[in-house]
Each structure stands twice: as C-alpha cells, then as structure tokens.
Structure 1
Amino acid sequence: MNKLINLLTYVISICLLFFSINSAQNKLQIPDTLSGTQFNLTIQKGSVNFYPGFTTNTIGVNGSLLGPTLILRKGDNVSMNVSNTLTDTTTIHWHGMHVAPQNDGGPHTVILPGTTWRPLFTVMDNAATYWYHPHLHKKTAEHVTKGVAGFIIVRDNQEAALKLPRRYGIDDFPIVVQSRAFDAAKQFIVRSELDSVILVNGTKNPFLQVPAQVVRLRLLNGSTERTYNFGLKGNKSFSQIGGDGGLLNTPITLKRLRLAPGERAEILIDFTTMQGQSTYLMSYASELASGIIGASSLGMGGSLPDYANNKLNGANFNILRLDIIASTSNAITSVPSFLINNNPYAVSSSNVIRVLTFTSTGGMMNAAGPFVINGTPFSMEKINYNIPLNNTEIWELRNQTQIAHPFHIHDVQFYLLDRNGIQVSFNERGRKDVVLVEPMETVRFITRFEDFSNAIVPYMYHCHLLTHEDDGMMGQFLVTNLTDIRANVLPIPNRFSLDQNYPNPFNPSTKIKYSLHINSHVKLTVFDELGRVVTSLINEEKNAGTYEVDFNASNLSSGVYFYQLNTTNYVETKKFVLMK
C-alpha cells in the first residue's frame, strides 16, 4: 500500500510539475497586419504586464508594444502617415528597403512630437522580410528597447509562383527575438549586459501552435546587441530559403543559423510527422565564437560590466516552444528544390574599392568602446563619402577590435564576396543588408548605388549594435549625379519661401535656406520655446535670390527652437531641434 501511495504521489507531482511548466507558457502574440497602399502608423506610449503585479512602461506603434506587420507588394506606390504622439522626437527607418534618402527615415528625417511624417515611395524590393524601427541619433537604442519595431513583408510575382507556405499566422509566422533587461521595478533598462529575458514578438515564455506540415518562420534578430545561434531541439534540420533582401537560389539545409542584430532569415521546418509533439526553437550560444556578444567570452581578456553574470552568455537556451497540431487544408508538405536566380554583380564591374576599418577609441583590447569607423565618430554635419549614381563598388570591412560588429548599409542590398579571402557559405550568398564582421576579420561585399540620388540628404551606414551606433559607430554618404549638382544653381525664385533647416536635429550647426522673389528687407531670427529672441542671423536688405545661412548653436543648450523669416510681405516660422 505504501508503495502504491508513493507511486501515486510521484505521478501527481510529475503532473503538477508538467502543468506548472505549461501554465507558465504564454501564447505567442502574432502582430496584426496592414496592407494596401496607404498606411497609418501612430507611435504611442503604452504599458505591458510582463510580471505579475508590475506594469512595464513601453512604446509601440498602433498599440502598446511593437507594431503591425506591413504587407507590401512590389511595384505598388505607397504612402505612409507616421504620427508621433510622444513627447520625444523620433524617426522611423524602413530597414533594408530601397527608397530615396528623404524617405529612408534616417536621423536627419525627424518626426517631432505632435507631428506626422508622410513619405511616399514605390516598392522596388524583392519579396523578403524587412522591418521598421526608430533611427534618431543617440536615441535609437532607447526607442527600440522600449518597443518600437515592426515587420515589413514584401510580396512579388516570383515568390508567389513558388509552392511555399505564405498564409500569415497559419503556416507563415513572423518571429522577432529580443533580449531585455529589467530593473527592480520591472522597467526596461536601455543599456545593460544583464539582458537575460527573451521576448518573442513581445511575449515572455512563449509557445506557438504549428500545423503538422512544412511551416515558414520569418526570423528577425531585433535585439540591441545579442547574437543568436538558432537551431531546433535535438539538432533537427531545417531549410533556409531567404536572407535579408530576398530568396536564395535554393533551400540550404542547416542545423544552426547565426543571426546578428538587424539580420533576417526565412526558414522552412518540416513537421509533417510530428503531430502531437513539441519541440523548441533554441539558441546554441555555447557554439558562438569569442567576441560575439552572446558568446561565453569577449576574447583577449576583454569584458563588459555584468557580462559574466548574464546566464544567457555562452549557454544553450530555449526561445520558443513549438506545439505541433493537426495539419491544415491545402498544406505544403515538401520543400522546393529551386527558388530564384540571384545575379551578383561581377567583381570586374566595380568602379572603386572602399576600405572601412573598425577600431576602438580605447585601444584594441577595449571591449566597451566607443567604436568608430575609419577613426572618425559620427557627425550629423560630415559627409563621409560622395558616391556617383550607378556606381558599382566593393566595400572592404576590416574589424580591428575584439568585438564582432554587424555592419548595415542603407539604400542598397549587397552580395558578400568573401570572409578573410574565403568564399562565404551558401546561405550567405543571397541579397543582404547586414553582415556580422568578427574580431580581426575582413569581409568584402559588392553593391550598386542606383535609382536614387540627392545632393543634400544622405544615407547611413553603421554598426547595428544599437549602443555602438548611438555612441558614434556610424557614417553617411550622398549618392549624387550632375543633375543634382546643377539643381543647386537656382534661378530667381518665383515666391518667398523658408525651407526646413538641414540637418535637423543638429549639433552644433545647421543650414537654413530661404528664397526671395523680389528685393526685400530680411530679418531671420531664432527664438526659444518661450518666444524669447536667441539671436538675429540677418537684418538687412537682400536682392532677389536663394540664400543659405549657417547657424552655430555651440553656446546654446539642447532643446526645441524656432527660426522666423520676416520680409516686407512675408512671415514664416519653422521649428528645429538642437541635440547635444
């Protein structure tokens, strides 16, 4: 009898343990979708209960955390209305998308509190998984950490012709993985190496029910710094079908897939024989090379505060539980053998080779940075490269630090040529816009700068470790042609006008352009938020024409200011932001 009682007690305890483990799981949130050609996005404050009895302050898009998935179609002309209801300035960048620089959403294209940004563009990108997130200099890590990010799925005819899972939320799932640190009050910590809590689509301890068939996961590393070495429990194989900017030539069978912050990949998993079972999407961080954030060590004795105390570093851990349920109707049950033809640019077609060297301002052994590219920290006023329209270029990335850096370039997709002179693996041979460059590694890629040029508004390139980016590991380039240059030689204007200053925000100087169609007495004055005069830039007679004034605010504190053009028959005022 005692043996029976003991057995029953053991069985009950096991059942209770099983129930407690599974009851602790939360159903994975699948972002809502928006489709069509007009998209209304509102950046807003919110809150989420990640822990019982605690409310975490967040920022989201059209909701409390993260944002809706935007489904775009190649060739469509789309309009975005992005409203900022915060009390803080921000931006929204369409990561990976090929758009004009004024529509790209970089740090120069700010969305001031209470205003709406309205970019218009044609979708020129191939079918792939892209994303959107803030990109305000010195604020990117904060705004992304607090929750502003969302998927973009582009569809095209080539992808539509393939027998692939594409029923959103049924057999095609967006999966954004982010690590977060919380303080004692369960608020997000923006800069911390104790990011030991994994959120998937903003869900803590998530599970996802998937049908017993071939399923597509669109993986996005949306973390601030952490790299993941994705794999399935038990080393089950999966097939990668796409990278940052589109499908691969053929599916690549893998057991591990390393994704650095900003990178995306589309994978197919065959669950056809697994109905009723569960498995896990994991990160095998024990296999990450030294120097990659998320590995057990940062190499050569380098370290970061609290890095060694983070239980995820160098560990193998679960990310998402996958529960396999019955298959759906019209199920995809096999992986195609061919996808599309990628046509990399010929090396012989390159017009120039640019060398970008990553270094630490604290010396090679310094793991904390700040890090810079070619010895120069980012400046809003400095254009690092002027690139002729339609140039084909090879960029050579040399990492002379002890930390791996994911390099991202705006405007274009590129093709990787080699790592330390060795051709890259098959799953890295598609179109990309982020590449992880390991310590002391040299990576080369080739790309072409086509379709868009602008003599004023630049594109960015930077490390996609958001703390590194905010600390100055970033540069900018203009894509220009003769038409842009000639356009700067303007005829006599036909009306009065006052342009938005550039750059904006700025530190410490910016340019203000205005136009007069007749000779006038001109006053150009700067005011603070209380309407007090800060300085008078111009107070004199001017002939008809277009003028540009440099304003240096090195003696002013950060904040919102206004500048006003006042002529005999015309008055206009605009707002600008000084950020130091």
Structure 2
Amino acid sequence: MPGPRRPRAVLVSAGLLLVASGTAVALAACSIGGPGRVTTVGEVDFDTPLPVPPLARSTVEPDGTRVFDLEARAGTTEFTPGATSETWGFNGAYLGPTLVAERGERVRVDVANALDEATTVHWHGMHLPAEMDGGPHQMVQPGDIWSPEWTVDQQAATLWYHPHPHGETEQHVARGLAGMFLLRDEAEAALPLPREYGVDDLPVIIQDVALTDEGRLETAPQGFAGRLGDELVVNGARGPYADVRDELVRLRLLNASTARSYAFGWDDGRPIDLIATDGGLLEASVALERVMLSPGERAEVLVRMEPGERRTLQSVMTPEAAGLQPVVAGINGATDEFDVLELRAADSLDASPEVPERLAELPPVETDVAATRIFELEGFEINGRQMASDRIDETVTVGTAERWVVSNPSGMPHSFHAHDVQFRVASVDGAPPPPELAGWKDTIHVRPETEYELILRFDDFADPDTPYMYHCHLLWHEDQGMMGQFAVVEPGQRATMTEETNDHDHH
C-alpha cells in the first residue's frame, strides 16, 4: 500500500468562516477553505523504516572552534517509490543533518547557498548575537557562503534550524529546508536518560504534506492558519516505523509543519511522559493525555516499551485543545487525527533505569522587570501593524528582564516566537501556567481570547545596528507581515535603525 487513503475534503464558505470567527478576516479572502476534516487513524501501513537524519560532520580548528558545513540545494525526493517530487534540503535532497554541540563550545557553520534564489538559515531557539541569528537581515545570495560563529551558552535542548526570508519562509520550509540542532551539557549527561542518537534517542521531525495519488508533492489546501496537508511525513518518510531494543525510548518531537498544530499521544490512551520543552528539561517528568505542539515547538517525551509490543504515536486534535470554535477548527486542522509513527519493540529488550524524579533545577520566574510590553495578535498584524524591515518596533536594554504580555483577542489560530532568548511563562489568563508550560520556551501556541505573561531576560549581545525578530510562527502569517523587530542596546543607547512607538508601547 502506498500510504493512507486520501480523504475527501469538506470545504466551508468564507462567509461561514467569518461568522464563526467573530473577526473581520476579509484579509483571508474568499478562497480559504482548508482540506476539511482529515483522519488517517487505522489507515497507515507503517511499511517504511524510520529514516534517521545523519549527524552533521564537523572539524575542530586549532583555536577549538567546531566547524559545520551546510549547503542549501535543490533535489528530488521519492515519497512513494517511482514518484519523484522536486524538493530542497541541506546537504541532500530533503531536510538536513543533525548538528550537535556542547555548552561552552565555540561553533561556526559555513552555510553555502546552491539554490537559484536567496535564502537564510535561522537557528531557532539559539541564544546568539543578532548578526548571527539568520533572520531576514542575513540573506545568503545564490553562490554565496555565510559563516555565523558564536559560543553555545545555554542548557541542553532540542533546537532546530530553518530558513527565514521575509515573505517566503513558508515556501522554503515546506520544500524541505529544516534540520535539528541538539545541545548537550554536563547536567543532562549525568542523568540516566536515553541518549544514543538514532537508537534509543530518536529525532522525530513531523510535517504535513499534500501528495497526489501517485505520491508526488503538490500544493496543500489553504486554511486561515496556512497550507494544510492531508497526511504526514516523519523525517521525510510516509508511514514510518522504528525498531527499538531498549525498554526506555526518548522521542525528540519537532513540529516542522508550516501551519498545522498537533496533539500527540499514544494509541492505547496511556499517558505520554513529557520531560523537556523548547529550551530544555523540565524540573520533573509530566504525564499528559496529549502533548500539543504548534509550528516550531519541540518536546522530548519518554516511552517505556514491553518486549514484542507495538505502539503507535498519534495526533488527535480537537477544537477544545486548540481553543477554536468548531467551524473555525474544522478548516484549520483542529479536528484532524493522524497515525504518526509506530514503535516496534524487540522480543528481548535491554533494561533501562528508572527516570529520576528530579530532572533539572529551574530558577524562580523573575518578578523584577524593567519594562512591560504588550503584543496583540490579530489578523496578520501585531499591535495593529505589519512588519517593516526599516523599523525597530521595540528597544530592550541589555542586562534587564522584561514582561511581555501576549494575547490573541480574535477567534483565529496564532502562535508567538521570540528570537535570541528562552522565556518563562509566568501566567496564562492570570493563573499559574500548567506543568507543560513551566519550563523554558521560545514558541507558544496563543489560544484565542487568552493572555500569556512571558518573562524574558536579555543578559548580553547588545547591538544597536542589528535587530532580532518576534512573530507568529504560523509561517503564512509571518510571510503576510505578522512580525516585528526588537533591538538590544546598552543603557541609554538607541537603535540605529528607525525606531517608532505605538499605542501599545511599554511602560
């Protein structure tokens, strides 16, 4: 069987969308319908071994700098044998290798662009100087090489890299330009957790795609959230399975889709054990019914297998989980169900130790903040305006912590990603965050009519000349201009680019 049966799309009129959302989304035009409700549960054959992205090769220079090489290139991929799709990848035809670095290590990545158009590489979740960030100000022209260099100074975490060209990010990521960047440190290495890459520590890069009946990649239907495929590929493969020989397995989940959110859990309904979010380990494992990830978010989960057992990772989204009204949910992927990955345990498994009750020590959420800033997400705008490349929207003083209040007053799906730092969620609608949001984050799903209080600390990398970005990580929204720029400066300094204030300025 080539894969799951393609379900029929159920299209909903734009007029019904507008009524259900309660917002004037004329900006979405009359063509928005999405693919309708999709389910592949019970229809996936799981007949493809899970590909494991190779570990990126590196060299170490005399000064100790670890150097990686990435080349963005065009190629072809057979999602179904014999059916060729045009795709992009790093160092290959689709996706890219996994980079690994230690905390305290100096790294450089020589990024070559072999495409026929400009692109960038953004180190999503990485704390690094603005000029090394890989946003739309660091475009790499065809034939050029860009060599960002920085010292890794954050805890062990599952990060990733992807393009960030303004107005074209959705297209570049959807074509396959993405990969993982794993950070290690001594504290995480001292824990009895699975960490043999590709064996008991598996990268799981989830994307939704639209394929023809012959298996060729095609353009996905458009919902308000963005383009929504009607089936999944994991690490670039349809219907993957992974053979495991250890009792305890670690899955590093990356939502590399451009628009679709997921709610991951197990097919038999048992809890899914979350140990880490975007920026690293939680204080303790959290048993959840589902782990929800919007585009760009990551989660590390553990699963303990029994000999000979088969277990299926699924995504079962509901309007309640997404915070959407049923009609809006139905045309934005929030009623969809997918079989994602099958784990197949060997008849005899290597014993694994128990998971420690305490995984990490997280500092208290800061309350001494230098400024409070308001970010309202509505339509394709933040605080009522769209991205301008020559405008600094916010200026932050180095060495301070800030409170960013992010809200979604509309009935439509949005998310929020901040470059440069990992943040803590101080409250959700004034209440303490749930355990799954209590760790370090760089991207959050922003539910409709909900307010999130984020605490961010900016300890270094002042640069008045080069901004960082904040934006909705539904990449079509980002491309439409749902993005702003902030600069980190020394006390009393101003950003050198144009700086404007707005009605939502900080206080």
- What TM-score do you get using the length of structure 2 for normalisation? 0.83
Asked whether the 8 Å contact 1:216–1:267 carries over to 2, the reply is: yes
Quote the residue 1:325 is aligned against: 346
- Tell me the SS of whatever aligns to 1:159: helix
Letter in 2 for 1:339: L
The 2-side partners of 1:391 and 1:383 are apart by 19
Please tell me whether residue 163 in structure 1 is matched to residue 192 in structure 2.
Answer: yes
Asked whether the 8 Å contact 1:290–1:298 carries over to 2, the reply is: no
1:316 to 301, 317, 337: 337
**Deviations, residues 1-41 of structure 1 (Å, cap 9, x unaligned):** xxxxxxxxxxxxxxxxxxx9897611111000025511000
Letter in 1 for 2:95: L
Quote the residue 2:358 is aligned against: 338
The 2-side partners of 1:246 and 1:467 are apart by 27
Letter in 2 for 1:386: T
Letter in 2 for 1:214: L
Quote the residue 2:23 is aligned against: none
The 2-side partners of 1:89 and 1:184 are apart by 32
The 1-side partners of 2:211 and 2:386 are apart by 30
Quote the residue 1:429 is aligned against: 438
Q: CA deviation at 1:253?
A: 1.5
Please tell me whether residue 58 in structure 1 is matched to residue 87 in structure 2.
Answer: yes
- Structure 2 unaligned spans of 5+: 1-41, 59-65, 499-507
- Tell me the SS of whatever aligns to 1:153: strand
**Deviations, residues 178-213 of structure 1 (Å, cap 9, x unaligned):** 111236782342663451020111111111112240
Letter in 1 for 2:355: V
Please tell me whether residue 472 in structure 1 is matched to residue 504 in structure 2.
Answer: no
* Aligned residue runs from structure 1 range 272-287, under 5 A: 274-286=306-318
The 1-side partners of 2:248 and 2:113 are apart by 40
Q: CA deviation at 1:468?
A: 0.3
Percent identity over the alignment is 38
Quote the residue 1:117 is aligned against: 146
Query: CA 1:184/1:192 → structure 2, altered by over 3 Å: closer, same or farther?
Result: farther
1:187 to 217, 222, 225: 217
Query: CA 1:238/1:22 → structure 2, altered by over 3 Å: closer, same or farther?
Result: closer
Quote the residue 1:355 is aligned against: 374
Where do 4+ consecutive residues of structure 1 move more than 4 Å?
20-24, 326-329, 482-486
The 2-side partners of 1:141 and 1:220 are apart by 16
- Tell me the SS of whatever aligns to 1:138: coil
The 1-side partners of 2:428 and 2:397 are apart by 27
- Tell me the SS of whatever aligns to 2:457: strand
The 1-side partners of 2:144 and 2:322 are apart by 45
**Deviations, residues 514-554 of structure 1 (Å, cap 9, x unaligned):** xxxxxxxxxxxxxxxxxxxxxxxxxxxxxxxxxxxxxxxxx
Query: CA 1:435/1:344 → structure 2, altered by over 3 Å: closer, same or farther?
Result: farther
Query: CA 1:21/1:243 → structure 2, altered by over 3 Å: closer, same or farther?
Result: closer
Quote the residue 1:527 is aligned against: none
* Aligned residue runs from structure 1 range 9-158, under 5 A: 25-34=47-56, 36=58, 37-158=66-187
1:442 to 451, 469, 487: 451
Asked whether the 8 Å contact 2:315–2:338 carries over to 1, the reply is: yes
Asked whether the 8 Å contact 1:212–1:275 carries over to 2, the reply is: no
Aligned length: 445
- Tell me the SS of whatever aligns to 2:115: coil
- What TM-score do you get using the length of structure 1 for normalisation? 0.73
Letter in 1 for 2:206: V
* Aligned residue runs from structure 1 range 339-488, under 5 A: 339-347=359-367, 349-360=368-379, 371-481=380-490
Query: CA 1:327/1:159 → structure 2, altered by over 3 Å: closer, same or farther?
Result: farther
The 2-side partners of 1:138 and 1:355 are apart by 24
The 1-side partners of 2:234 and 2:445 are apart by 22
Asked whether the 8 Å contact 2:44–2:339 carries over to 1, the reply is: no
The 2-side partners of 1:435 and 1:485 are apart by 29
Query: CA 1:23/1:433 → structure 2, altered by over 3 Å: closer, same or farther?
Result: closer
Find the structure with the greater CA-based Rg: 1
**Deviations, residues 293-313 of structure 1 (Å, cap 9, x unaligned):** xx95316xxx8xxx38xxx65
**Deviations, residues 545-566 of structure 1 (Å, cap 9, x unaligned):** xxxxxxxxxxxxxxxxxxxxxx
Letter in 2 for 1:224: T
Q: CA deviation at 1:326?
A: 4.5
Letter in 2 for 1:315: D
The 1-side partners of 2:353 and 2:272 are apart by 13
Quote the residue 1:205 is aligned against: 239
**Deviations, residues 254-312 of structure 1 (Å, cap 9, x unaligned):** 221111111101111111xx2112110001113644555xx95316xxx8xxx38xxx6
Asked whether the 8 Å contact 2:366–2:401 carries over to 1, the reply is: no
Letter in 2 for 1:467: W
Please tell me whether residue 217 in structure 1 is matched to residue 251 in structure 2.
Answer: yes
The 2-side partners of 1:255 and 1:166 are apart by 24
- Structure 1 unaligned spans of 5+: 1-19, 361-370, 489-501, 504-580
- Tell me the SS of whatever aligns to 1:167: coil
Q: CA deviation at 1:483?
A: 9.0
- Tell me the SS of whatever aligns to 1:468: helix
Query: CA 1:264/1:88 → structure 2, altered by over 3 Å: closer, same or farther?
Result: same
Quote the residue 1:13 is aligned against: none
